[in-house]
Structure 1
């Protein structure tokens, strides 16, 4: 387990992205790695804002076709003030670099999330 400061930083990033801290009452090793290292160390580095990191993760998950994780990070992107139009623009841009199928799937996941959020 990382130090208490890394855990605190990680939980702050998780809360900022997803609206609540990750439940660490009975953490698995993966929970600890995710909160303490990924969010507490990597996402907390000073070189990029959380909004920028969120854009990068949305692009990477779209390109890789990781739909469940993409949906979660799209919600995080929206929580960072990234607009729906910006998200769709990311997908259009990625179509030329990651391939049309990746962009189409990413756009579908985004639209499904938007519909859920709109109560459709």
Structure 2
């Protein structure tokens, strides 16, 4: 594995909050790991929280529930944002994106908060396997 791939996978694991497997031979995954995470997410100038908020805003604007859930869960896992802050973000974004997209984002956040609360009550961590499976599928072309 070359240095850019290693650096990209390390940052991807940090951003998502779990161990992402290295998927070989998929040009989209290569671009995601090497460029997005190896080059863009590692740039100085913005904090991880800044980058997360921008990512969550873009995801909310696109109405992508699956990615909103992954990013909201990662923000909570990495202690960049609380559930209450994510809910407030949904209220704020509703004013700029419109009620349908804002409420859709709020629904994704609510789902993540409830899932994490139930896991904590059972004494478990968040469901990382489901997140890894979703992320692999998202980045593998099986979209």
Aligned residues: 118
Map of 2:4 onto structure 1 = 6
Q: TM (normalized to structure 2)?
A: 0.75
Spell out, residue by residue over 1:59-115, the C-alpha distance to the aligned partner (whole angstroms, 9 max, x if none): 110111011111111112112311111111111110111111111010011101111
Counterpart residue number, 1:42: 40
**Residues 17-48 of structure 1 deviation map (CA, whole Å, 9 limit, x = unaligned):** 22233211534111111111111111111111
Which of 74, 77, 89 is residue 76 of structure 1 equivalent to? 74
| Whole-Å separation in 1 of the counterparts to 2:9 and 2:114 | 28
Match of 1:53 in 2: 51
Are the equivalent residues in 1 in contact too, given 2:23–2:29 (CA < 8 A)?
no
Distance 1:90 1:28, change over 3 A: same
C-alpha distance in structure 2 between counterparts of 1:96 and 1:50, whole Å: 25
User: Which secondary structure state, in structure 1, belongs to the residue aligned with residue 118 of structure 2?
Assistant: coil
Q: SS of the residue aligned with 1:26?
A: coil
Q: Is the alpha carbon distance of 1:43 and 1:94 closer, same or farther for their aligned partners in structure 2, counting shifts above 3 Å?
A: same
1:17 alignment counterpart:
15
TM-score in terms of structure 1 length: 0.88
What is the rounded CA distance, in whole Å, between the counterparts of 1:72 and 1:85 in structure 2?
17
Unaligned runs of 5+ in 1: none
